[in-house]
Structure 1
Amino acid sequence: MTDADANVTRPQGPAGDPVCWLDRVCDACGAFVEGVDATPCWNCGAVADSGR
């Protein structure tokens, strides 16, 4: 660790977005689907399995 590292202020509290967004990736085409289960993919129209 350098002196510059010791002066870094890191945010406290909850982190941002979840680390893994894999459950929102369309299995059929790989597009990112911004919806809940059973939302059709905007790119190909496939519907994700609800058992994710």
Structure 2
Amino acid sequence: MTSPGDEALPLAEPDDDLGGDPVCWLDRVCPDCGLFLTDRTASTCPRCGAARDR
């Protein structure tokens, strides 16, 4: 139970750097195992062997 004086604190200030990876890198992630694929010419994932979407 909360009292009338309790206020929710913001999760982050507007100037805080939240970080994270840009969504434009999504095509470089293996959909099966999540490995970041550095070789853009590979047709399969080197970790799990899944076919790479192009």
Question: So what's the TM-score if we normalise by structure 1?
Answer: 0.47
Larger radius of gyration: 2
